[in-house]
A and B are shown apart, each in its own frame.
Chain A
Amino acid sequence: NAGVMQNPRHLVRRRGQEARLRCSPMKGHSHVYWYRQLPEEGLKFMVYLQKENIIDESGMPKERFSAEFPKEGPSILRIQQVVRGDSAAYFCASSPPQGMQFFGPGTRLTVL
């Protein structure tokens, strides 16, 4: 049973480009969470999704950031027009209904 998968593991973008981060939840998990870890800080919640629905996006920046979890395929976190301050590790976690969250290995985004 494969764990939570994220790709790419490392992503380099220049300012103004778009970044797309993918998360494939564990088999049987219908809930996905995205967290951001800035340097020297803990993880901060961004968004919680179920299939085709955003349940809680209270931690998402209002502009440039969006997330989706389509009926088929992985969850996508999209950052448009990236800036240097977006450089961070982005972690995805998945869970079954009413269950524990299991984390992926993260995507480390570097904005040049």
Chain B
Amino acid sequence: GDSVTQMEGPVTLSEEAFLTINCTYTATGYPSLFWYVQYPGEGLQLLLKATKADDKGSNKGFEATYRKETTSFHLEKGSVQVSDSAVYFCALRGAGANSKLTFGKGITLSVRP
């Protein structure tokens, strides 16, 4: 079945540091890939997405590129802020626009001033 693997956390960075959060996936066919963010006590918000190979999703300074050859969708940001502190989830959606989402375990990011 489909699966998503995220790097182990938590991650603590200083403000303005570079961020990379690794995500790899296993899926049949051509899934769509997503990054969701969860702030404390809140639900999930879509951060960015990519629907086909080599697509780059971007939002709020975050970027991720759909790499079919390495089955990866790593999240990057050039300069993190304290307000980026949250839990980040990588997810995939299988073939079919109404398919369920399969999530990674999530990683907690803490950014120090």
Contact = CB atoms under 8 A, between A and B. Distances in A.
A43 B100 contact: no
Interface of B is mostly: strand
Interface stretch (B43-51, B53-61, B64-72, B76-84): B43-51
B101 interface: yes
B43 A106 contact: yes
Interface string A1-35: 00010100000000000000000000000010101
B45 A43 contact: no
B105 A42 contact: yes
B66 to A, nearest CB: 16
Contacts of B106: 41-42
Contacts, number: 51
Contacts of B73: none
A86 B94 CA distance: 27
Interface string A36-80: 000011111100100000011001000000000000000000000
Given A91-B43, A103-B43, A103-B44, A48 B89 contact: no
Interface residues of B, number: 18
- By size class, the interface of chain A is 20 to 34
B20 to A, nearest CB: 19
Interface in A72-106: 91, 93, 95, 97-106
B69 to A, nearest CB: 25
B104 interface: yes
Contact of B100 (A4, A45, A99, A105): A45
Nearest 9 Cβ contacts at the A-B interface: A42-B103, A98-B97, A45-B100, A105-B43, A103-B44, A103-B43, A42-B105, A43-B103, A42-B106
Interface of B: 4, 36, 42-46, 49, 89, 97-98, 100-106
